[in-house]
A and B are shown apart, each in its own frame.
Chain A
Amino acid sequence: MSDQKTLNFTEFRARVGDLRGKEFWRSLEELSRSDVFDEFFEQEFPQQALPLKKGVDRRDFMKLMGASVAMAGLAACRQPAEAIIPYVRQPESIIPGRPLYFASAMTLGGVATGVLVESHMNRPTKIEGNPEHPSSLGASNSFMQASILGLYDPDRSQVVRRLGDTATWSDFIGAIQPVLNAAKTNGAGLRLLTQTITSPSLGAQIQQLLAMFPGMKWHQWEAVSYDGAREGGRMAFGSYVNTVYDFTKANVVVSLGSNFLDEGPAHLRYARDFMGRRRVRAGEANRMNRLYAIEAGMTSTGSVAEHRLVVKPSQIGEMANALLNGQGSNPFLAALLKDLEANRGASAFIAGDEQPAAVHAIAHALNARYGNIGTTVTITDSLEVAPTNQLASLQELVRDMNAGAVNALVILGGNPVFDAPVDLQFVKALDKVPFRVHHSLHYDETSLHCHWHIPDTHYLETWGDARGHDGTVSIIQPLIAPLYNGRATSEVLGALIGGLDQTPYEAVRAYWFAHGATEESWRRWVHDGVIPNSALPARAGAVPNAPSPAPAIASSGIEIELRHDPTLYDGRFANNAWLQELPKPQTKITWDNVMIVGPKTSEKIGYDADDRDGNVNERRTRFADVQYRGVKMRLPVWVVPGHCEDVATIYFGPGRERGGKVAEGTGFNTYPLRFSDALHGGPGAQIAMSAASEIYPIACTQEHQSIDPKVVGERGIIRAGTLAAYLKNPRFAQAEEHGSDVAGEGNESFYKPYDYSDKHAWAMVIDPSVCTGCNGCVAACQAENNISVVGKEQVVHEREMHWLRIDRYYRGDVENPDVFHQPVPCMQCELAPCEPVCPVEATSHSEDGLNDMTYNRCVGTRYCSNNCPYKVRRFNFFHYADYDTPSFKPMRNPDVTIRTRGVMEKCTYCVQRINAAKIDAEREGRRVRDGEVVTACQQACPTQAIVFGDMNDKTSAVARLKAQPQNYAMLEELQTRPRTTYLATIRNPNPELKPESADTGREG
Chain B
Amino acid sequence: MAQIFHRSANTLSRVTIFGAIFVAGFVLWTIGGIVRSPYFTNQGIHREQVVPFSHQHHVAGLGIDCRYCHTSVEVSNFAGIPPTSTCMNCHAQIWTNAEMLEPVRASYRTGQPLHWVRVHRLPDFVHFNHSIHVAKGVGCATCHGRVDRMNLMYQASPLTMEWCLDCHRAPEKYLRPKEEVFNMAYVAKDQATLGPQLVKKYAVRSLTHCSTCHY
Contacts and interface: CB of A to CB of B under 8 A. Distances in A.
B123 A82 contact: no
Contacts of B132: 919, 922-923
B99 interface: no
B211 A850 contact: yes
Interface in A860-908: 895-898, 908
Contact of B76 (A84, A97, A844, A845): A97
A229 B20 CA distance: 83
Contact of B214 (A88, A854, A923, A925): A854
Contact of A85 (B42, B80, B116, B211): B116
Contacts of B76: 95-98
Please report whether the interface of chain A is mostly helix, strand, loop or mixed according to DSSP. Answer: loop
Contacts of A919: 129, 131-132
A844 B209 contact: yes
Given A82-B118, A90-B83, A845 B215 contact: no
B136 interface: yes
B39 A78 contact: yes
Contacts of B107: 88
B75 A89 contact: no
Interface in B23-68: 39-40, 42, 47
A854 B212 CA distance: 10
Contacts of B207: 847
B80 to A, nearest CB: 6
Contact of A84 (B81, B125, B211): B81
Contact of B210 (A89, A96, A846, A898): A846
A207 B131 CA distance: 54
B16 interface: no
Contact of A856 (B72, B111, B125, B203): B125
Contacts of A78: 39-40, 42
A915 interface: yes
Given A97-B77, A919-B132, A922-B135, A856 B214 contact: yes
B214 A915 contact: no
B4 interface: no
Contact of A897 (B47, B82, B135, B215): B215
A98 B130 CA distance: 12
B124 interface: yes
Interface size class of A (residues with CB under 8 A): 35 or more
B214 A96 contact: no
B113 A96 contact: no
B112 A82 contact: no
Nearest to A98: B76
Nearest to B134: A923
Contacts of B212: 846, 915
A858 to B, nearest CB: 10
B85 interface: yes
B127 to A, nearest CB: 7
A87 interface: yes
A564 B72 CA distance: 49
Nearest to A82: B118
B200 interface: no
Residue among A853, A923, A925 having the largest count of chain B Cβ atoms under 10 Å: A923
A912 interface: yes
Contacts of A847: 205, 207, 209
A853 B214 CA distance: 8
A898 B127 CA distance: 13
A852 interface: yes
Interface residues of B, number: 45
Contacts of A83: 115-118
Contacts of A857: 210, 214
B47 A852 contact: no
A84 B116 contact: yes
A21 to B, nearest CB: 44
A2 interface: no
B108 interface: yes
Interface in A86-143: 86-90, 95-98
Interface string B78-110: 101111110000000000000000000001100
B131 A85 contact: no
Contact of A923 (B80, B125, B131): B131
Contact of B127 (A854, A912, A922, A923): A912
B127 A98 contact: no
Contacts of B129: 915, 919
B214 A86 contact: no
Contact of B211 (A81, A96, A846): A846
B210 A854 contact: yes
A525 interface: no
A96 B78 contact: yes
Interface in A61-93: 78-79, 81-90
A852 B83 contact: no
B141 interface: no
B189 interface: no
Nearest to B81: A86
Interface in A733-786: none
A101 to B, nearest CB: 15
B14 interface: no
Given A78-B40, A898-B124, A85 B114 contact: yes
Contact of A81 (B47, B85, B111): B47
Nearest to A919: B132
Contacts of A911: 211, 215
A845 B136 CA distance: 24
A846 B209 contact: yes
Contacts of A856: 123, 125, 214
Contacts of A915: 127, 129, 211-212, 215
B113 A95 contact: no
Contacts of B7: none
A731 to B, nearest CB: 35
Given A852-B209, A919-B132, A922-B132, A82 B85 contact: no
A98 B75 contact: yes
A855 interface: yes
Contact of A922 (B75, B116, B136): B136
A381 to B, nearest CB: 48
B185 to A, nearest CB: 25
Given A847-B209, A911-B215, A925 B131 contact: no
Interface in A226-279: none
Given A897-B124, A897-B125, A90 B210 contact: no
B176 to A, nearest CB: 17
Nearest to B206: A847
Contacts of B113: 85-88
Contacts of B83: 86-90
A845 B209 contact: yes
B6 interface: no
A81 B47 CA distance: 9
A847 B71 CA distance: 32
A908 B211 contact: yes
Contacts of B131: 919, 923
Contacts of A912: 127, 215
A889 B147 CA distance: 33
A925 B132 CA distance: 11
Given A88-B85, A897-B125, A81 B118 contact: yes
B214 A855 contact: yes
Contacts of B108: 88
A844 B209 CA distance: 8
Nearest to A909: B211
Given A897-B124, A922-B135, A86 B211 contact: no
B44 to A, nearest CB: 14
Given A86-B114, A852-B211, A898-B124, 7 more contacts: A79-B42, A85-B116, A86-B82, A86-B83, A90-B83, A895-B127, A897-B125
15 contacts: A83-B117, A85-B116, A86-B80, A88-B111, A89-B83, A90-B85, A97-B76, A98-B77, A850-B211, A854-B214, A855-B125, A856-B123, A908-B215, A915-B127, A915-B215
| A-B CB proximity, top 7 nearest | A97-B78, A97-B76, A846-B209, A87-B83, A852-B210, A90-B83, A852-B211
